[in-house]
Amino acid sequence: MRRLVLAASLLFALAGAPAFAQSPAHAQPATPSAEAMQANADEAARVVDSFMTALIGGQLETARQMMLPDAVVMSNGQILGTRDGYIDGAAKADSAALRNVQRELVDRGAKAGANLGWVVSEKRLRGAAGTQGPRELMLSETMLLMRTEQGWKIAHIHWSGRTAG
């Protein structure tokens, strides 16, 4: 028992000692200022808007370039694929469908640090009279972005929709 207490005391004493004392000092990255964070968030939101403009306009190669190669796209809890799988597949139907609805941005929040950001949007989609399916949908959209050497790139997209009303 005495050895156990001694071992535990020694363990706690060593755990409290600065383990990094013999390793070279690493400067901690500076926390971005509130102004820089807001500028990053605004820039990330512009990338999201540009991506959606390209998607709706059928400019799928432009949309592809705004995404990381390993970006994952989800809709209503279903994985649609990584960037290339989505752009080469479901994006074509999404593009065609989005061209036939009115879109209204209802609410948006964005936040970004130095290298990671998110943009959350709520949108109202209105179909023309006589369109198949619900006439009006509320769409929730979350996009995660990472800063690369080429600027902000989309790392993840999740869309979910519900009937408005």
Which residues does residue 163 pair with via DSSP β-bridges, in sequence order? 137
Tell me the C-alpha distance between 28 and 121, whole Å.
33
**Taking the domains of the chain in order of start, what are their residue ranges?**
35-163
* Tokens 């207490």 belong to residue: 5
CATH number of 35-163: 3.10.450.50
Find where tokens 């600065």 sit.
Answer: 18
Give the span between the Cα atoms of 155 and 67, in whole angstroms.
6
Q: pTM (2 decimals)?
A: 0.78
- For the chain, the three-class secondary structure string (H helix, E strand, C coil) is CHHHHHHHHHHHHHHHCCHHHHCCCCCCCCCCCHHHHHHHHHHHHHHHHHHHHHHHCCCHHHHHHCEEEEEEEEECCEEEEEHHHHHHCHHHHHHHHHHCEEEEEEEEEEEECCCEEEEEEEEEEEECCCCCCCCEEEEEEEEEEEEECCEEEEEEEEEEEEECC
Question: What is the mean pLDDT for each group of 10 consecutive residues in the chain (165 residues)?
Answer: 37 40 56 89 97 98 98 96 97 94 96 96 86 82 98 98 86
CA gap 54, 44 in Å, rounded: 15
pLDDT, tens digit, 9 for 90 and up, residues 92-120: 999 999 999 999 999 999 999 999 999 99
Q: How far apart are CA 135 and CA 130, in angstroms?
A: 8
- List pLDDT tens digits, range 3-17: 433 333 333 333 344
